[in-house]
Amino acid sequence: MLLETAHRWAEGHGRCLYVTGEESAGQVRLRAERTGNLHHEMYLAAESELSALLGQVDQVKPSMLIVDSIQTMSTVSVDGVPGGVTQVRTVAAGLIAMAKERGLPVVLVGHVTKDGSVAGPRVLEHLVDVVLQFEGDRHSSLRLLRGIKNRYGAADEVGCFELRDDGIVGVPDPSGLFLTRREKAVEGTCVTVIVEGKRPMLGEVQALVAKTNLPAPRRAVSGLDAARISMALAVLEKRGKVNLFQKDVFTATVGGMRLVEPAADLAVVLAVASAEREIALPADLVVLGEVGLAGEIRRVNGVGKRLTEAARLGFKKALVPPDHGPLPDGVRALVANDLVSALDVLGLNGRRSSKGEEG
């Protein structure tokens, strides 16, 4: 992504200097050749000391500077190892002072911890103007660039990208990556719409319910919040009268999407009910709603925007809570006040008959 950014900057704005402390200059050059990101205004330097970096800036006189990464840079003016609190704070302060003095945009790459927060001193996030978080599942080609902080603009924008052999490519319409294309409906699947930043995206929840002889049935979760899934299963069993005793329940998302928004609660519950009842939900149905402990279905924000995206992709029915507001043309609302009424509307209160008809 940094090489693509540097290449576009060199094409449209002028000289760009890429300073690498993570890899050698030869390694970065090979990657730039493979991804087609070479330009005569792109300069590359392998430095890990602040004064040498500033010397490169004086010599090259770039219009943008990229430093990869802040944890590998150090300065002899203070004690400490590279990546330590003192070194990171001092190097970052020096680069920020240079950026302000020269009017030079500087991109700093920082490592993240296992929980996704920026590693090192928290003051680093306060010093910079914008914090962008690059995230994604290692088993998926999709990557999200999320704005965490922005002093001069909105912080609710999300960029979607796909990793390919020849580099990283923007995905203008990522919803299709999270849906399974099939000819007929399959039990245990349900489609919902989440909002990433300002962008609505469709996601599919899949569930599998199987009998077990184990004293403690398994509850496996992938791409979902395990705590919310436990709550949703308890509500489904208690309020919806769906028997999950002595049954393993597996829930997952499609395409590596992570669904942690409460708006996906109802989709998870209905996917599990569909798998347990062995009744498939309509293929053109999308589900929105947060499920409370009393079994009530609560309204979520941005219903109109979410269903507009669903209508664009061909969904014609939407199971929504009351007071959902205006719906887009071509989408018919199925209203449910609570979990029991939602199961009734979709015919999930009885098993499939011997003739294959839904109960």
Q: DSSP assignment, residue 7?
A: H
Q: DSSP assignment of 271-293, as one string? A: HHHHHHHT-PPPTTEEE--EEPT
pLDDT at 351: 45
- pLDDT truncated to tens, each residue of the chain (359 aa)? 999 999 999 999 999 999 999 899 999 999 999 999 999 999 999 999 999 999 999 999 999 999 998 989 999 999 888 888 889 889 999 999 999 999 999 999 988 876 666 666 677 888 899 999 888 877 778 888 888 899 988 887 888 888 888 888 888 777 777 787 666 789 999 999 999 878 899 999 999 999 999 889 999 999 999 999 999 999 999 999 999 999 999 999 987 788 889 999 999 999 999 999 999 999 999 999 999 999 999 999 999 999 999 999 999 999 999 888 888 999 999 999 999 999 999 999 864 433 333 33
Task: Judge whether 302 and 194 are in contact, CB under 8 Å.
Answer: no
Q: What's the confidence (pLDDT) of residue 359?
A: 30
Whole-angstrom Cα distance, residue 117 to residue 123? 13
CA distances from 41 to 7, 99, 267 (A): 8, 20, 51
Structure confidence by residue, pLDDT tens digits, 220-231: 999 999 999 999
pTM reported for the whole predicted model: 0.74
Which domains, and CATH codes, for the chain? 2-128 (3.40.50.300), 177-345 (3.30.230.10)
Contact 203, 253 (CB under 8 A): yes
Cβ–Cβ < 8 Å for 255, 177: yes
The string over 227-265, giving b where at least 16 C-beta atoms fall within 10 Å of a residue's C-beta and e elsewhere, is ebbebbbebbbebbebebeebebbbbbbbbbbbebebbb
* Dihedral Cα 321, 327, 332, 334, nearest 10 deg: 10
Nearest to 266 by CA among 328, 187, 185, 346: 346
The residue with tokens 């978080």 is 133
Give the pLDDT confidence score for residue 120 in this predicted structure.
Answer: 64
pLDDT of res. 150 = 92
Phi, psi of 344, deg, nearest 5: -65, -45
